[in-house]
Amino acid sequence: MTAPKSSSMRTPLARVRALGASHSGTGDFWRQRLTAVAMVLLIVPVIVVVLMLIGRNQAGAAQILGSAPIAIILLLFIIASAWHMKIGMQVVIEDYIHNEKLKLASVMANNFFCFAVALASIYAILKLSSGV
């Protein structure tokens, strides 16, 4: 016995399109690639800055971070890496946690954690760079 045919004139692709769980997979894919490229471009200057900070006290670190280009490079790196971390962990959570309540709680905790890490890091850099 054959399965009953659908009376729809739509192709199989048209029936499947836009039926994903989150409807944002492609956007997340490209945002994660964009943040990865940003981090690749920023990693060498960040390593140089970190090497310059080794062995310095707070005054020395403030002096190095007081430079606007250095503070901007570090801020961009933090924003890109926190965003990259958020997207990557969210994909893992959505793929491997099947209980909907636990998935929702995990995604919320992931968002909060990534935001808190980024905010604390940004605050520290701004505080050191302003000399306060």
Of 6-15, 68-77, 114-123, the least confident: 6-15
Per domain, the residue ranges of the chain are: 24-130
> CB-side exposure of 77: number of CA atoms within 13 Å?
19
pLDDT confidence bin for 66, thresholds 50/70/90: confident
**Model pLDDT for residues 22-65, shown as the tens digit of each residue:** 555 688 889 999 999 999 999 999 999 999 999 999 888 888 98
Nearest-10 crossing angle of helices 100-130, 58-65: 90
pTM of the model: 0.76
Q: Which CATH class is domain 24-130?
A: mainly alpha
